[in-house]
Amino acid sequence: AAERLRLAGLCCFLQLLTIVLFASFVRYSPESSPGLCSPQPNCSQRDPDPALGYPRFRDVHLQALLGFGFLVAFLSRYGSGSVAVSFLIVAFAIQWAILVQGLFYFFLNGKIYMGAQSMVSADFCTAAILISAGAVLGRVSPIQMLLLTLLEVPLFACNEYILLSLLGVSDSGGSLTVHTFGAYFGLMVSRVLHQPHMKEHKEQQDVGHQPDVFAVVGTISLWIFWPSFASATTVRDSTEPWAVLNIYFSMAASTLATFVLSPILYEEGTLQLAQIQDATLAGAAVMGMAGEMLLTPFGALVAGFLASQVSLLGFRFLTPILRSRLKIQDTCGVHNVHGLPGVLGAFLGTLLAALATADAYGGRWQGKPGERSPAPRSGALARLLGPAGAVLRRGALRSAPESQEPESKALREV
């Protein structure tokens, strides 16, 4: 009873706090005013058609609720309870992320101007929180998860701002900002929560049969909504078509590759649905950074195949080491499903950016004849790469540094 009252009190306090902060600082962005889209001089992020933002927000939000939310429902003792906690995290994280990320991207004249794209950004942050929650599932209370969300959202926003705005890294699908950050933050929390004198609760690791329907819904949601999730922040009318297709090819190759290595590494006669979920996630995570840069589908197939193998090998060999040597109990295997594929995707994206040439990417970014590229170069990394830096741009959501003002003015004129 005391725990329920503390949870009720904390939820009441956090909701009242966000209400006060929203009343003081948050306003809807006037779509007709180009001057309120961003605190930075570059307003190329503004959606020329406000109606285009809602389908992206809808798909990303459904992915966060269904895809990530139902992935934590596989434990026999914590099936439905985990889904409830996931919805609790989503409800608070979105509100808190709007405030925190708004200070970085949508703050102007003492107010935070939000729209559909800021909601997409908040859902990306929420996805990272849910990944972190998977590492400590079954070992933390709802109160602790809310407090962790309160701490992780500002850290996520700072990490994202440094990578995307200051360094100019392109990470439209979140290989680094969502998957890698969420996984390793969760592993860090898991290490902090380790109690050496307490035996592991083996029943927490048991997979139940009752929540299988959640696993089915989660897996289907991944296939339906993940391409929209990964391409929600790519530059409109430029890279989105092949970014979506690369995600599908990568997930397909990753899933098929699971049937190749899983029978060798495990003695089970049949492939578990949880392994298909993990393979789908690994294939999507590896495409977070490289999805909008791969110009041929075979590259996505190779990346998905490698991501699946890395994930399965991690479950077989690295997870026991994390548990025995480093005292890290990874309940949902986020290190193998999100962390390792995210790092692999970052290496792949870096390699593609280093090898990019104007001949390879120039025609793809020109759009209609006579039009300029909708994605200006931004950040130190993009400037170093010269013509290839046009690819290193997370469009439609993030603001360029102030040094890009002349180029952004030209874009607004276009």
Q: Measure the CA–CA gap between 113 and 108, rounded to whole angstroms.
A: 7
Please state, rounded to an integer, the average pLDDT across all residues of the chain. 76
pTM of the model: 0.80
Task: Report how far Cα 101 is from the mean position of its chain's Cα atoms.
Answer: 14
DSSP letter assigned to residue 62 = H
Q: Which one has a higher pLDDT value, 230 or 378? A: 230
- Classify burial at 264, counting beta carbons within 10 Å of its beta carbon; exposed 0-12, middle 13-18, buried 19 or more: exposed
CA distances from 320 to 47, 267, 316, 317, 385 (A): 47, 17, 8, 6, 41
CA distances from 48 to 6, 133, 374, 402 (A): 46, 36, 12, 21
Which homologous superfamily does the CATH classification assign to the domain defined by 58-193+213-360+381-392?
Answer: Ammonium transporter AmtB like domains (1.10.3430.10)
- pLDDT, tens digit, for every residue of 172-193? 888 999 999 999 999 999 999 8
Q: How many CB atoms lie within 10 A of CB 202?
A: 7
In contact, 64 and 228? CB cutoff 8 Å = no
Among 238, 248, 240, 310, residue whose Cα is nearest residue 280: 248
Q: Measure the CA–CA gap between 340 and 312, rounded to whole angstroms.
A: 10
Give domain limits for the chain: 58-193+213-360+381-392
DSSP letter assigned to residue 75 = B
- pLDDT, tens digit, for every residue of 96-153? 999 999 999 888 889 999 888 888 889 999 999 999 998 998 888 899 999 999 999 9
- Classify burial at 199, counting beta carbons within 10 Å of its beta carbon; exposed 0-12, middle 13-18, buried 19 or more: exposed
Q: Measure the CA–CA gap between 318 and 180, rounded to whole angstroms.
A: 16
Q: Measure the CA–CA gap between 111 and 69, rounded to whole angstroms.
A: 32
Q: Give the pLDDT band (50/70/90) at residue 9.
A: very high
Candidate from 26-30, 69-73, 75-79, 389-393 with smallest mean pLDDT: 389-393
**What pLDDT score was predicted for residue 311?**
92
Name residues whose C-beta falls within 8 Å of residue 9's C-beta, 6 or more positions apart in sequence. Answer: none
Q: Measure the CA–CA gap between 161 and 165, rounded to whole angstroms.
A: 5
Among 411, 324, 401, residue whose Cα is nearest residue 372: 411
Whether residue 411 has pLDDT greater than 50: no
**Single-letter residue type at 397:** L
Among 274, 268, 344, residue whose Cα is nearest residue 305: 344
In contact, 168 and 143? CB cutoff 8 Å = no
Tokens 């986020």 locate to: 334
Secondary structure of residue 18 in the 3-state scheme: helix
**What pLDDT score was predicted for residue 194?**
83
In contact, 352 and 392? CB cutoff 8 Å = no
Whether residue 82 has pLDDT greater than 60: yes
Q: Measure the CA–CA gap between 107 and 25, rounded to whole angstroms.
A: 9
Secondary structure of residue 13 in the 3-state scheme: helix
